[in-house]
Amino acid sequence: MKTVFFKYLVLLNLIIIISCKSQTLPLNTLIDDIPQGAYVKDLNNELNPYIGVYKGNYEGNEITLFINKVEHKLEKSVDKNYFMDVLDVKYTVKNSSGLILQDTHNNNSSNIKLYSIRVRSSNNSVAFYYSGTNCKVGWGSIILKRLNSTQLSWEYYPNSRIITDASCPPGTDTTVYLPVTDDELIFTKQ
């Protein structure tokens, strides 16, 4: 009886592994082409050149980006869930006196998200979704373009959002500390 159960368990695991392999898709697969439960994988290591710690200065503030690769990140869309390899960015912003204005790296601010959604190999860039700061102020897209092995350029395109007392409690810090700029900011790998 135990032998039959063991063989059944091995066969079931083999079926699961085979079905999961058939659901593995390359990065940049269009969302309409991603089936429920699939895994959009960084098959060609396109995300790896961006991993690291980068620093840049903008209008007197020092911004440090901590870029890590996360495998099997759960993505939820309106009609399906799937998994995807992404670049996850945590950051700190300090003013010229060294005072920390915002820190998602050490504070683990679960409400602020910054992760990759698309790789553009043709121009060495990665597009990111930014959830915005408190009350989602400043949500939008960020593009990091790899200029060489140690430098990235930064573009940030925030979307507008109307804030009311009902959607955001009075006194909440709704300052967007990330630099809003188009290709003027260069980050250097540390």
Q: What is the tens place of the pLDDT at every residue in 19-43?
A: 545 599 999 899 899 999 999 999 9
Nearest-angstrom CA–CA distance, 22 and 52: 32
Q: What is the tens place of the pLDDT at every residue in 153-181?
A: 999 999 876 677 777 888 888 888 999 98
**Contact between 115 and 135 (Cβ < 8 Å):** no
Nearest-angstrom CA–CA distance, 98 and 22: 50
